[in-house]
């Protein structure tokens, strides 16, 4: 459980300017400038070591990178009217907190994880433990595979400490095949990792093969921007792809 701290900035908005202050998008407004040009409450005089600092913490289940949103005077069924802080975590959870009571439990919490898909991933990891005598990376941990470093919590891949700048789908592919070093992963499994089990694109029942091939091509090009001789992704024509050499 990780704490999301709240400072006097948020509380000042909440308690003093509650009628007008709200944060409904990233960096306050569509200009994405990260400024509040109409701020009248906080000044260099009252933001100081005596009056400004940590007021409490909201407990959440993972890292928070998305912009927390704030809406005043929200009616919560069965719980009355609250000034609500909405927080999304890297574990696909969304919380609603009373912004004026940072140490209270959430007003509600929703998980957006696909439970059926999560079960499949867990089963795959258990098979890998038995087959390879090593555990596949757990969400939130750093996974090292030779020169490859993966950070599943934030969906980032690094090659020789250089960020490969993969998209979410591309990261899922690398996460899958690198956890099965030396083993060919079928096209269908790779496609399912990109989307969900059984997903069918508009190009027909077997169109997923072309989709996977184009994704792998983009991934290789990105790795080669970091390392011109990168050759860790190998193809078994008509079947799938392998990270590293077969049987390595």
pLDDT, one tens digit per residue, over 128-162 is: 444 443 344 444 578 888 999 999 888 899 999 99
d(Cα 177, Cα 192) in Å, to the nearest integer? 13
Q: 215 falls in which pLDDT band (50, 70, 90)?
A: very high
Q: 7 falls in which pLDDT band (50, 70, 90)?
A: very low
Model pLDDT, residue 126 = 46
Residue 222 has pLDDT above 70, yes or no: yes
User: Sign of the C-alpha dihedral, residues 139, 142, 148, 152?
Assistant: positive
pTM of this structure = 0.48
Q: What is the DSSP letter of 23?
A: B
First-residue to last-residue Cα distance in the chain: 38
CA 192 and chain centroid, separation:
18
d(Cα 236, Cα 231) in Å, to the nearest integer? 14
Percent of the chain with pLDDT over 70: 76
Domain 115-243 has CATH 3.30.750.24: no
Residue 73 has pLDDT above 70, yes or no: yes
The domain segmentation of the chain, as residue ranges, is 2-111, 115-243
Model pLDDT, residue 157 = 93
| Mean pLDDT, range 216-242, rounded to an integer | 92
d(Cα 85, Cα 87) in Å, to the nearest integer? 6
11-25, 177-191, 197-211: range with lowest mean pLDDT: 11-25
157 within 8 A of 171, measured Cβ to Cβ = yes
């Amino acid at each position: 459980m990780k704490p999301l701290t709240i400072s006097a900035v948020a509380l000042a908005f909440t308690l003093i300017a509650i009628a007008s202050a709200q944060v409904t998008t990233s960096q306050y407004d569509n200009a994405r400038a990260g400024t509040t040009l109409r701020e009248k409450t906080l000044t260099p005089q009252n933001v100081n070591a005596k009056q400004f600092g940590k007021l409490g913490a909201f407990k959440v289940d993972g890292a928070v990178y998305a912009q927390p949103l704030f809406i005043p005077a929200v009616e919560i069924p069965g719980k009355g009217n609250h000034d609500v802080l909405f927080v999304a975590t890297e574990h696909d959870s969304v919380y609603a907190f009373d912004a004026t009571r940072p140490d209270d439990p959430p007003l509600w919490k929703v998980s957006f994880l696909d439970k059926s898909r999560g079960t499949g991933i867990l089963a795959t990891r258990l098979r890998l433990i038995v087959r390879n005598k090593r555990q596949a990376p757990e969400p939130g941990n750093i996974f090292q595979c030779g020169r490859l470093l993966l950070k599943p919590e934030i969906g980032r891949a690094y090659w020789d400490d250089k960020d490969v700048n993969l998209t979410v789908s591309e990261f899922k592919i690398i996460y899958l095949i690198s956890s099965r070093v030396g083993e060919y992963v079928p096209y269908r499994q790779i496609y399912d990792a990109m989307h969900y089990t059984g997903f069918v694109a508009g190009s027909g029942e077997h169109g997923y093969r072309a989709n996977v091939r184009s994704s792998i091509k983009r991934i290789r090009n990105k790795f080669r921007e970091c390392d011109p001789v990168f050759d860790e992704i190998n193809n078994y024509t008509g079947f799938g792809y392998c990270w590293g050499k077969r049987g390595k």
